[in-house]
Structure 1
Amino acid sequence: MRELRIVKALEAVEREKRLDPLVEKVAGVVDAVLQPRALRDLLHGVPAGHPLHPVMVLVPTGAWISAALLDLMPGQERPARTLVGAGVLAVAPSALAGFADWSATHEQQKRTGLVHSAANLVGTALYGASYLQRLRGRQTSAKVLSFAGLGAVGLGGFIGGHLAYRQAVGANHAEDVPHLVSPGWHEVTRLDALPEGELTGLDLDGQPLVALRRGDEVEVLSSVCSHLSGPLSEGELVTDAGKPGEACVSCPWHDSVFSMRTGEVVHGPATSPQPRFDTRVVDGTVEVRLPDAG
């Protein structure tokens, strides 16, 4: 079965560099508004362990779909109006979460995301106009505006699916690491080859690792950032990222921060932890093992 034409259109959007000046302006506004890192982490969904935006969009979308069903039934003007208004109010927190995620993506994803947000903005404006018409008692035009808004929001949802699944925004980009590493212990380097207190890149059967030596102990994570595959071995060692006494690694691409000891997310935009390797030193050789590998 052939792909729909809209898919080819979205691929063209990904390559459309003329969108970049607008992308930069919007990104500047988002960065200025979402200054506190704790707020960004919350909007990214770090406490939830996955992006928050896809969950939050259920509220306005669900309200508007329910309103559409009521609009097809006689005598349901008041509950339909309530649902339309509730959906409009629920857009703001959902949009904030979406823009927080969008601001920490690659340029191709930003271009697509800009069109996604534009479609949703049009849909929200149509629903806002519909709500005003309902207050004025103009039910026919209100319903027309609502169904037009539902179409725009549906288009935005389709583009959101392209972002999430075709462009892998929000996916765990380190999920496949346990399936690519064989079980058991593996020699990776000599202990004396690792500099003290510095991040070092290693390789295990083609899988990049990042290691930190502290005395005779070595902490090792997958170097493929779970957010968008950034190389953690090229990142920075962070010691004051909200985990007292723990060394953390900061991704060089979008500044996600992970604990070197546990692999857990300290700061987003990443929401999935890094695969963490068990380590041991045998006769001066560092060996690693990934739990549940294979």
Structure 2
Amino acid sequence: MQMLTRLQEARSLDPVSDRLQAAVTGTVKPQRLRDVLQGIWLGHPLHPALVQVPVSAFLSAAVLDLIPGRGRARAATTLIAVGIGTAAPAIAAGLLDWSQMTRDRRRVGLVHAAANTVALGLYAASLAARLGGRDTRGKSLGFAGLSAAGLGAYLGGHLSYAQGAGTNQAVPEIARIPEDWTSVGSLSSLPEGKTTVRTVGDVPVLLYRTGSHVTALIERCGHETGPLGEGEIVGAGPDACVVCPWHGSTFRLADGTVVHGPAASDQPVVPVRVHDGRVELRQP
């Protein structure tokens, strides 16, 4: 839609976006906390999973509000309280993910967050009205909150499915690698204990040699396609890792396992063999 295209290109949002990004990155500093909120332990971003609890609570409350009965009104009030109470971790995870996105995604994400903030405020007002015995007003505010949350959900879907936010952007490269074993050079041409970038088909691949053993990862970082070939190597032996120079995502070279975010999923691995002194790669 043209509206979303204009939103992605709305540079007027950048001053607010940049200030909020700086505040988020300056607040959430401990690496362990960042890894937890970014979902490394889960294998994909945590935010989409966390939002299911408040969204489900708010939707269930709306259904109960449509059915007459005092008992259902009390249950709806409880569900709204649950939704408000469980929103905080979802917000924290979402803000951290958002802070590591490209500017066009951050613009959409900013409006997504604003819509959800309005929704949360409306639900807080709805809860206050219900607790004060003003059920009709509470229901009206609840439905208004659900409408704002629906807009936020729509923008969140656009971020994920149209703009690719939160997805492993290196995975599509696997399909472009030849299915048959393809030589990328001799084993002796690869430096020991250092990374080298070679192209197989038209896909850049990151090679790492230890002795006669070679491992290969898609070279473009799955988080935001940063050039891992320009990244620093940390650690040694089987624990050696490459650090993305753009946002600091850290992957183990032996198997692509993500060690630190903001990437939440592993870097795709390319099968390797050494045949007659030549290093060969193919599609998994």
User: The TM-score by the shorter chain falls in which range?
Assistant: over 0.9
Which residue among 29, 40, 51 is the counterpart of 2:23? 29
**SS of corresponding position for 1:277:** coil
Which residue among 166, 184, 192 is the counterpart of 1:196? 192
Q: Does 1:230 align with 2:223?
A: no
Quote the Cα distance in structure 1 between the aligned partners of 2:3 and 2:272.
48
Residues 177-235 of structure 1: per-residue CA shift (max 9 Å, x gap): 33222223221012333233322111001010111223333222111222222221122
Output the amino acid matched with 1:37: Q
* 1:55-74 → structure 2 map (5 Å cutoff): 55-74=49-68
Residue 59 (structure 1) shift: 0.8
Structure-2 residue corresponding to 1:88: 84
Structure-2 residue corresponding to 1:97: 93
Superposition CA RMSD, Å: 1.7
Q: Could you list the runs of 4 or more consecutive aligned residues of structure 1 that deviate by over 6 angstroms after TM superposition?
A: none
Residue 283 (structure 1) shift: 4.1
Output the amino acid matched with 2:34: R
Identity, % of aligned positions: 45
Structure-2 residue corresponding to 1:146: 142
Output the amino acid matched with 1:149: G
Output the amino acid matched with 2:272: T
Q: Does 1:206 align with 2:199?
A: no
Quote the Cα distance in structure 2 between the aligned partners of 1:131 and 1:267.
39
Query: Residues 276 and 290 of structure 1 are in contact (CA less than 8 Å); yes or no, is this contact kept in structure 2?
Result: no
Quote the Cα distance in structure 1 between the aligned partners of 2:47 and 2:36.
11
Q: Does 1:279 align with 2:272?
A: yes
Worse-matched range after superposition: 188-197 or 89-98: 188-197
Residues 40-64 of structure 1: per-residue CA shift (max 9 Å, x gap): 1111111111111111111111111
Output the amino acid matched with 2:101: T
**SS of corresponding position for 1:18:** helix
Quote the Cα distance in structure 1 between the aligned partners of 2:33 and 2:105.
22
Residue 249 (structure 1) shift: 1.0
Residue 245 (structure 1) shift: 4.8
Which residue among 161, 165, 170 is the counterpart of 2:161? 165
Q: Does 1:121 align with 2:112?
A: no
**SS of corresponding position for 1:176:** helix
Quote the Cα distance in structure 1 between the aligned partners of 2:82 and 2:243.
39
**SS of corresponding position for 2:171:** coil
**SS of corresponding position for 1:180:** coil
**SS of corresponding position for 1:213:** strand
Residue 121 (structure 1) shift: 0.1
Residue 280 (structure 1) shift: 3.4
Structure-2 residue corresponding to 1:246: 239
Query: Residues 21 and 99 of structure 2 are in contact (CA less than 8 Å); yes or no, is this contact kept in structure 1?
Result: yes
User: Where in structure 1 are there 5+ consecutive unaligned residues?
Assistant: 1-6
**SS of corresponding position for 2:55:** helix
Query: Residues 178 and 290 of structure 1 are in contact (CA less than 8 Å); yes or no, is this contact kept in structure 2?
Result: yes
Worse-matched range after superposition: 71-80 or 145-154: 71-80
